[in-house]
Every structure is written in structure tokens, then in C-alpha cells.
Chains A and B, each alone.
Chain A
Amino acid sequence: MAYVAIADRDAHLHDPQTFIEKYIWSQDHKVIAIQYGSVAIFVGLIALVLSLLMRLEIGFPDTFRFITPYNYYQFVTMHGMIMVIYLLTALFLGGFGNYLIPLMCGARDMVFPYMNMLSFWVYLLSVIVLLTSFFVPGGPTGAGWTLYPPQTVLEGTPGADWGIVLMLGSLAIFIVAFTMGGLNYVTTVLQARCRGMTLMRMPLSVWGIFVATILGLLAFPALLVAAIMMLLDRLIGTSFFMPALLSLGETSTHNGGSPILFQHLFWFFGHPEVYIVALPAFGIVSDLLSTHARKNIFGYRMMVWAIVAIGALSFVVWAHHMYVSGMNPYFGFFFATTTLIIAVPTAIKVYNWVLTLWRANIQVNTPNLFAIGFIFTFVHGGLTGLFLGNVTVDLPLSDTYFVIGHFHMVMGVSPVMVLFGAIYHWFPKITGKMPNEFLGRIHFWMTFLGTYAIYLPMHYLGILGMPRRYYAYGNTAFIPGSAQAVNEAITIAAIVVATAQVIFLINVFYSLRKGKPAGQNPWNATTLEWQTPQTPPVHGNWGPKLPVVYRWAYDYSVPGEAKDFVPQNEPPKGHQTSLG
């Protein structure tokens, strides 16, 4: 055969020459992944501190003089937006997407390395614009992360002067960055897989990231237009979302716009966004479970089709966020139906994860603990979603702490469990050092038990009717005094969980310096990234010759094999390895 992969013919298209090219203006997907990941974790820590400030106010009201109602709503807003967009989306796709796609597909790099680099720098710009809003007059916006107009751009909401402009601008810049990265990931998966890596042999991590990226490319434009339209409403006085109204008793110049139009646009982005975060988590956790349980993933094809089905369905459920928004009440029937249907492919995934563990040789180590912990938190978050998906049950529960408990379990804690599992799992490949197992387990147990201590009681508070986004509860008779004790306990649990993240950071920095050398494949994993000639992989990933794939990614504990794993690039027995 005369086939020679393009990447085999010329492996030196953009070799770095200087320190700056290697680490700053780098076009290497692995360096860009680390840059993306570091910035995402940094802003995530800011958002973590904001959440603690909120919890301090709720748990110990009227105690801290530096938390005024004005600041409280700013903390609420920035915490939500940073966590969902600038941490989770950026870390899963920009971080792990960048690192894993070329390595797992057997490519030398992303197909558009320069655009990949640009994607990171534009992302960094969006983060800088966002953080600038803390330093402008009036501070960041306090409109809630959903940014519902008209209050978002009117006096009466913190940051209506500058904060909201910077927020919308930052979102628009982020979407530009995401689009450059996203097109790259999709093209790379479709065009740059190595020989033998058919789509149905791809590890589920790549499948999850791939489908999530497609969702992002289709969903983010809705947010982009919504952001631009609201910017126009705010800056030049258009009325896309602004009906004729009184602003604090004064007649405004707006006329004829629809606030609900924004909600539809926002959630047309916002619901797929849940799966933009969840699908990479689904994929990655499948690989973690299979590797650390030394067993093939149960129902690989179903897992792939479930990812695709969830991705498709996620575009027709958005208005389940709007049952009490004043939209036509008959819409509720349609959206409740589609919402409950999405539970089917999701349940398939959960069953398959559990069946993967069934009678497996489960290794107890940090990445696997996080992966198994994810199954618990995700099942809990998913089940409460069934409550909220039904219109009549949602009526009393929407806008209460039940919702907060639900979405933090399902799209906060669960993806973060996978992120931690993934960081512990790939840390040896990224750095060449093993993370400290003892610190890792402390981190896991404090985080896992701590998040339950935070979010389970919130469901109870929500059923009591305790509304969310309240700075204080005053003399509300239907909320018993004991609810305050629960809130204090939640705040203390939140402080404990935040402390656990400090342990995580210590572990990262300690292991970077003093960790045991990892070797090429410390977990005995089958996927391609563990088969690189160097660890950490150097520029170009594969040395002179690209790998060739002969099998799927899940040949663990295959009967009759000497080892309990067979790497994807190991030829079948008796196979002629010289393909010529």
C-alpha cells in the first residue's frame, strides 16, 4: 500500500523554536490545553470564593459588614456565570478537549494549530474583560447568571451601567474563542484520526467531547445574538427585549420588545449548555471506569448512541426552564414530554456504568473514586430533575432551593467529580509525575461527603418553599426557625469542601515537584495517549511514525491474553505488522 498519512510525511510544520513559541504563543495542543486549564481553574477559584461569601451571608445573616445586598447579588451572578461558562465549558472542551482529541485519535496536533492558539488567547481576553467588571464604577452585574431583561439593563440592578456591558461583551468574546476551538475539535475528530481509528473505535471521551462541541457550535450562537441584542438595547436604546415600562416610576423610552424572547434565546443556549458540560463528563467517566475496573465498557455502541441521542434531544427541551415564566401554558406539555424522554438515554448510560463495575476488578484509587462518586451524585441530580421536569411538580419547586440543590448536583458537582477524576487520571501523562494518592483520597472524601452535606439539605429547604436568590429571609412565617440551623450547617460544609480544594492544589504543586515518576502507562490503559514514545508527549506526539489502531479502546481482561489490557495499537496475534 502506498498510503502515507499526511502527518507522517511532514512532522515539522510548526515546530517551536524559542521559549516563547514553546510555552507562550504555543501552537502545540498540549500546551494550549494546559493554558486553557490553568486559566479555567484560576477563575473557578474566584467563583468558589464568591460562593463562600454568599453562603456566609445565608448561613450567618447580618454578621459580615462587607456583604451588602448590592454585593450579594453581584456574587450570585458572577459565581454562576464563571462556573458554567468560564470554568466548566472551558476546562472540559478547551482543556481536556485540546489535550485528549489529538492524542486519543492518534493525530500529531489539531488540524488548525494557529487557530487553536488564537482560541486560547481570545478566551483569556474574555476572562480579562469579565474580571475587569469588578473594578468599574458600580461593579459587576447583579442580574443573576440568567441575565433576564428588563431588570438587567435598568437601574435597580447592580452594575446596570458598566457591569452588564462588560458581561455581555465578555460572553461575545468567549463565544468567538469557543467557535475557533470548536471548529478545530470537530474537524480534527473527523479528519485527523490515525489509520484504523474508525469512529466506532474512538474512546468515549472523544465521543463525548465531539458531540458536546457540535452542541456548542449550534447553541452558542443563540447566546451570541441574545447578548448583542441586549447590548444594543442597553447602549443605543433599541427595544428587542424591552417593552414600554416604568423604570423606578419614570417612563422609559423603550417600546414593544419581549422579555420572554430573551428567555427563549437564553435557554435555547442554556439547556444544551448543560449537556455541553455533561457529555464530556459522560465520556471521560466511561473511560475512567473501564480502565480502573479493568473491564470493557458495557454496551459501547449504546453508549455512543446515547451520547448522540442526548445531544439531539437537548435542543428540544429548553422551555422546561420556563414553566412559570408566563409563556403559553400549553407549551409545558410538549416540553415536559421531551424532558422526560431524555431520561431514557441518560438512564441507559447509568445502567451501563453500573454494569461495567459489575463483577469487575475494581481498583481503589483516586481517579476511580471520583468516577464512582460521579455515578452517585449524577443519579441524585438526575432523579430530582424528574421532579422539576413535570409542570405541576415544578410549580411549587421552581425558584426555590430545590432547584439549587438539583442543578448543583447534576451539573455542578457531577461534572466537577469527573474533572477531578480526569485530572488525577491524566496527571501522570501531562506531567510525567504521579499525583499523591493519600492527599487525593482525602480530597475525594471531603469533596464527596461535603457536597452531599451541602446539597441534600437544600432539597428539603426547597420543599419547605424557601426561595432562592434571597439576601435575607426576614420574618417569613412558613419557613421554620430550624431552617436557619440547616443553613448554618450548609455553610460550614461549604467551607470544608472549599478547604478540600486547597488540599487538591497542594497535591498538584507537591506532585509536580516531588511526585514519583509515572512511566509511560501507569494505569495500564489501552487508549493511544498512553502509548506515546515520550511522557509527557513531546511536540508532534508520536515520533517518526503515526500509530495504527487495530481494536477498540476497551480490551481489558480479555480471556487468553497475557496481560489484562491490550493497547489499541497492538496488532492482533499473527498479524503482519509491516503494513508498508
Chain B
Amino acid sequence: MTVDNPLGVDPDDPTGKDDVIVADPTFHLLVDQPVQVLLRSTDVLHDFAVPQFRVKMDLVPGLVTYQWFTPTVVGTYEMLCEELCGVGHFAMRGRMVVDGKADYDKWLAAQPTFADTQARPVGNATAGAANYATCSACHGQRGEGNQQLNAPKLAGLNDWYARRQLLDFQHGVRGAEKGDTFGPQMAPMSQLVVDPASRENVLAHIKTLPDTPAPPTITGDVEHGRRLFETCQLCHGDKGEGRWGTNAPKLAGMSDWYLIRQLEYFKARVRGGHEGDIYGDQMNMVANSLVGPDAINDVVAYINTLR
């Protein structure tokens, strides 16, 4: 399992090429069609539950568990984890959409097969330099960020995270919420790399930029921040290095003023409020546990100490 092969399909298996890959917390089902879900986990126990379906079954690493059901009512339903899986358990969720035939076919046709995902263009950093010229106006030549222009540091950002954010900006999942002052500036910029090849090129270029930690701009109670970070580190890593396995981006050495603004946005659902942004919704639930006037400042002050 890698970033490019998130479901771990065997690349040498010819019959796996046409497998449809849905690496997305939103899943669609066809109404009135019986479904057998085969459930696997690669880390710990989880539970596949759609409370409104009265459906529930544990996912057990090392086993394939299953359950049958037939969705009968078109609509959108919450999919929850209902087996304690760690500190982030309460925020582990997805969405189940039951579609009529036409909508379902449309959705299915838009999903890539395994062969499609493997054929994704490999980014060319040199070619990406040209695309990056536009970005550098705000984010800086070396992707170091610019607080005056409200542009965060890009160098060192996990490429899978940067890709998702670009796509979210392009699709209006991010930057379109009420109260978001700076997202609407980024949204049109993201349209410059709509073409997958240029998107991958610019991501490849960002990867080559030197990752120098951003200079701290705030101070706070680091010990209080360390205690609060106990919760964050279980997804973002104890050094704030970011973890693909938990979809949690790198925090250490990134622009602290930007982290503060994003935490405030998450709390206010300015970010994570869009129905397509399920990861943002999870972050909203976690950010809400930062209570009090200093909590956000202190936790970011602690992140500043991580190098």
C-alpha cells in the first residue's frame, strides 16, 4: 500500500487492472440492489456502521468480515466507526450515498480504475518550475511563504496533501465557505493547474524546494501546548511530521500564523463545513477540543518547538 496504490491492489495481477478504486470517504450505492460488503482493516479494529441502515460489522486486521444489506431509500447517510480505534475514533467517519440508477452510473463512470490510477502522469519538476512562477508571486521563490500576502509556506508540504488541497480548491470544496477571506484568492489560482499533467509538475517542483523551518512569529505556554498536542500527535506524528496513513499533513516547521488561522477556521467551520470535505469535518471535531483563549496559540507554540 502506497500513496499511489492506497488499496494495495497487486500491480502484477492483470485482473486487478479494471478494479474501480474509490479512495474517498464518500461511497455510493445503487438503490434496491443487495450489497455484500467485504471488510478489511490494515491497522486496528474498526467498525463499519451506517446507523440508519441498522448495519454494523467490525473490521478485523488479518480477517475479511462481511455483511449483507439492501439500501432501499435514496439519500445521504453517515458512515461511522463504532469500534474504539484510538484517540481519533470519534472523528472517524464517512458518507454513504444511495443513488437512483442514473446518478449511480454517472458516479461510477467518474471513478478511476486501477489502471487509470497507475497511469497518472509522473510530475516533471523542471516543467513544473514554469507553472510555479505564478505561485511564487505570493508563496515565495523557495516556497517559504509570505505572511504579508497571507500565503503559507509550501516547501516540505506532503505532496499527497498538497494534491488534495489543490483539487479541493478546484472543485470549490475549499475556499468557498462563508467567512473564508483568503480561500477565494487561492481558488482561481488553483484553476491554473486543472490539467493533471501540470498539476503533477507543479507538485513535483514544490517537492524540490528546500524545507527550511519557517521562523516562529508567536510565543505561548509550550508546556500547556505539549499537553494539548498529545491528541494531535496520534495522527500528525509525535514530531508533527505528518502521516499519510492517517491523512494528517506535516505541521512542524510550517507557517505558525497559518496554522493558527486554520485552527480558527476549523473551529468556526469556515474550513471543513463543505459536505465534500470530510477530512476537514474531522478536523473541526478535533479543533473543538481546543478550549479557551490560549489553547490554539499554545499548541502552535509547541509545534514551533518541533524540528
Contacts and interface: CB of A to CB of B under 8 A. Distances in A.
A534 interface: no
A167 to B, nearest CB: 15
Interface string A242-253: 011111111000
Nearest to B248: A248
A326 interface: yes
B20 interface: no
A243 B61 contact: yes
A68 B289 contact: yes
A399 B234 contact: no
Interface in A464-485: 465, 467, 469-478
A471 B57 CA distance: 21
Interface stretch (A90-98, A127-135, A144-152, A381-389): A144-152
Interface in A248-275: 248-250, 256-260
B40 to A, nearest CB: 10
A359 interface: no
Interface string B125-169: 000000000000000000000000000000000000000000000
A478 B86 contact: no
B305 to A, nearest CB: 17
B42 A245 contact: yes
A63 interface: yes
B186 interface: no
A250 B90 CA distance: 23
Contacts of B244: 249
B227 interface: yes
B77 A245 contact: no
A113 interface: no
A469 B84 contact: yes
A64 to B, nearest CB: 7
Interface residues of A, number: 54
A325 interface: yes
A537 interface: no
B77 A151 contact: no
Nearest to B292: A65
Interface in A45-67: 61-65, 67
Contacts of A246: 1, 42-43, 245
Interface in A64-115: 64-65, 67-70, 73
Given A70-B231, A326-B57, A470 B65 contact: no
Contacts of B246: 156, 248-249
B284 A474 contact: yes
Contact of A248 (B43, B59, B90): B43
B180 to A, nearest CB: 18
A501 interface: no
A34 B83 CA distance: 39
B260 interface: no
B143 to A, nearest CB: 24
A246 B227 CA distance: 26
A470 B44 CA distance: 17
Q: Which of B43, B78, B237 has the most CB of A within 10 A?
A: B43
Interface of A: 61-65, 67-70, 73, 142-144, 148, 150-151, 154-158, 243-250, 256-260, 324-326, 395-396, 398-400, 465, 467, 469-478
Given A245-B42, A326-B60, A465-B51, 8 more contacts: A67-B289, A148-B84, A245-B61, A260-B63, A465-B52, A467-B51, A470-B89, A474-B281
